[in-house]
Amino acid sequence: MSQGVLLFEAQFNPRLQRYLFLSIALVLLATIVGIPLLLVWILGWGQWVTRLHYRSLKCSLTARHLQFSKGHFFKTEKTIPLENIQDLTFIDNPLLKWFDLRILKVETAGNSAQTGADMKLVGIVDAAEFKKRVMQARDDFQESRASAGGGHTTSDGDMMAVLRDIHASIEGLREDMNRGKE
């Protein structure tokens, strides 16, 4: 999962395990099919699954990408280029507040409202600081790309003026060449 210089490695709050355990237990309780599974979930299987999930969480910020991986049985790895990140948004709900957790939703360029966020990071320790670091890394990356591309940008009007000057110089050379032939 390493691509480039590592700038920051996010840590996940251990309370995330209890949040996952309780939120899945509530879903099982709310469904008729899930009620028999709820007993198995509470008696140990749920604690084992949430512990494995928590240990598998990794999120790192490199000079070019935001990388995230999760899952023990079903692995998911996502890499988002910094230039595609538009915004990072915090999401709270009563259950998250009870566990003192936050969701950090990464919104990218070209992301439609139907597909949702490209990445949702739940339970990052000091999420506000992580957001600040990601946005700063994105800005630094964009500035380095702009400076590597020539250091300056020209508007259409400036470009037309340059092209007119080039055209005038070429015409002047043609006239000089024609005079030299005479």
**pLDDT of res. 6:** 87
Query: For the domain bounded by 6-150, which CATH number is listed?
Result: 2.30.29.30
Q: Taking the domains of the chain in order of start, what are their residue ranges?
A: 6-150
Token pair, residue 178, equals 């024609």
Write out the chain in H/E/C secondary structure: CCCCCEEEEECECCHHHHHHHHHHHHHHHHCCCHHHHHHHHHHHHHHHHHHHHHHHCEEEEECCEEEEEECCCCCEEEEEEHHHEEEEEEECCHHHHHCCCCEEEEEECCCCCCCCCCEEEECECCHHHHHHHHHHHHHHHHHHHHHHCCCCCCCHHHHHHHHHHHHHHHHHHHHHHHHHHC
Q: Is the pTM of this model over 0.85?
A: no
Question: One digit per residue, pLDDT tens: the chain, 182 residues?
Answer: 556 788 899 999 999 999 999 999 999 999 888 888 999 999 989 999 999 999 999 999 998 999 999 998 899 999 999 888 888 999 988 888 999 999 999 988 865 555 555 789 999 999 999 999 999 999 988 888 877 765 455 566 777 878 888 888 888 888 888 887 76
